[in-house]
A and B are shown apart, each in its own frame.
Chain A
Amino acid sequence: MLEKGLKVEAEGLLKLIDRGDEAAFAKLYALYSKRLTAFSISILQSSEMAEEVVEDVFVKLWNKRGSLVSIDNISVYLYIATKNQTLSYLSDKAKKLITAPFDDLNTSIEAIHQDPHSLLISSEMLARVNAAIEALPPRCKMIFKLIREDGLKYKEVAAILNISVNTIDAQMAIAVKRICQAMGISKNAIKFPREKETL
């Protein structure tokens, strides 16, 4: 989950940055640079430019100090700025990517590598889950990653990727379904509670 604490911290930092506080700026960079770089890489399909893209996002942010208070969700703002900056690097490809949002992309997701024993899950099952995540359709994978790893809310991801919350919901259902299937939860095994008419 994104760290509610992180968000609160980021908002506090933004106010300081707005007044030209360099230390606050460095902190904000530390908080976001990794995840924004990962996001940029998933669009660029290469890690070469991603760091530069993110640096430029922060260059622009710094040069906007004095008018930063109008930003109401710094996470969404930074992700969208990163998306735009990345797409402008890809100038040629950009148009295609905007209209066919990330259908051919490859998002890398950190494999789950916790000690399987602490999870009460077999390492074999864990391997299957990781493979299932890796095999998700590209857009589904990106959405799943932004929600699970970056801790963004459904509506934040919807704003960043410029798609509807319903699409996010549907894609997340696909992701969870594949993961559950990998764990061996069969759909048929689920008994549905007797329908309450009032529901």
Chain B
Amino acid sequence: MNNTEDIWGLMARCAFNEATNEERDLLQQYLHENPHLQQQYAWLLQILESKQEFDSQHKEPEIRTVQRILEKASREQEHNVLRIRKIRAKRVWAAAASVLIIIGLGYFLKLGSGEREPITRPIVTNAAPMTDPVMLADGSKVWLNSDSKLFFESDFNGATREVRLVGEAFFDIVRDTLRPFIVHVNELNINVLGTAFNVKSYEEDTEIQTTLYRGLIKVTKDKDDRFHPIMMYPNQKMVIPKKVLTKEYISVLNNVDVISLISVDSTIQEAERVETAWIYGRIDFKSESLEQIARKMARRYKVKFVFEDDAVKQLSFTGSFKNESLEAALRALQMAKPFSYKIKADEVIISSR
């Protein structure tokens, strides 16, 4: 230590029992070489320790205050119990009422499969993913990838917070157990407790992918009791083939094999993960087929991919693009595995050779 400023920190640490043994020895050395400092350090210690003792007021505890606190505590607890009861009662009535309305509607109209009308205008993205999240009325944040749409299916002041997603988005939802947050994707409902997760389901995708980062979500299916709800825990990724959700497949819905729950490597930082690379402007792919990669590239570069044969579609790659041009990206892929490409206007034609 040759910085004179450090002596004050050292004295403070020694005086308040925060010093290491080495630091104590060092201070002793200073004091030894500076007898006048020794005197003054002794004064300092005396001054520092001569403080008002809080405990000197350790007289008879303020019985009355404590009594008041205890009374307030029991009032508050009763109040909470009442509030919960009230809310529960309200919900029962709300549920009963909605059943009545549905029955009523069913009686007079034929209940169509009709899409619910979005209340607010949807949020739509085009070529580029959003760099800043959309702030929803409840404070939740949603990042939308390119070519994605988010519809609002309930006003956020009501009993539920519901949105419908087409495309891909990352959700960071504010916890509110009294107003569940539901993301509708195709026929699936993702029921959310305060949580962060990524959902991907573009129209051309053959499967719905959900990756949970934090919290807990429950996935159910619209108007289908036979679909066994799926609970997802952090760092799990669920892949559901869309065809499973169609009528023909209803009988196999409980067959776990078709729905896969994959563990995501939680040691990878969120910013580095494949599922949410798009938030950071990256296209990441891990053992993905050229066909899958092409779909991601098509959205980014606003081009169409045409495959001249099936074999080339199955070539598998692992990698990541960020700012590369379309050509640079294709050339990089070519370096890994041989294929040829031609770019015509907004079409990329790919063949085995």
Chain A residues in the interface with B (C-beta under 8 A): 1, 3, 6, 22, 25-27, 29-31, 33-35, 55-56, 58-59, 62-63, 110, 112, 114, 119-121, 125-126, 129, 147-150, 153-154, 169-170, 172-177, 179-180, 183-185, 187, 189-193, 195, 199
Contacts and interface: CB of A to CB of B under 8 A. Distances in A.
A30 B61 contact: yes
30 contacts: A1-B17, A3-B55, A22-B70, A26-B61, A26-B66, A33-B62, A35-B54, A55-B65, A63-B73, A63-B76, A112-B47, A119-B43, A121-B43, A149-B51, A153-B17, A169-B12, A169-B18, A172-B12, A173-B5, A173-B9, A176-B44, A183-B40, A183-B43, A187-B7, A189-B36, A190-B37, A192-B4, A193-B32, A195-B2, A199-B22
A30 B9 CA distance: 33
Contacts of B49: 1
Contacts of A119: 43, 46-47, 50
B8 interface: yes
Q: Secondary structure at chain A's binding surface: helix, strand, loop or mixed?
A: helix
A119 B50 CA distance: 9
A179 B44 contact: yes
A154 B23 CA distance: 16
B26 A192 contact: no
Contacts of A147: 16
Contact of A112 (B36, B51, B70): B51
B63 interface: yes
Contacts, number: 139
Given A1-B17, A55-B65, A153-B18, A192 B43 contact: no
Contact of B58 (A30, A150, A199): A30
Contacts of B70: 22, 25, 62
A121 B73 CA distance: 49
A25 to B, nearest CB: 7
A193 B33 contact: yes
B18 A183 contact: no
A92 B32 CA distance: 53
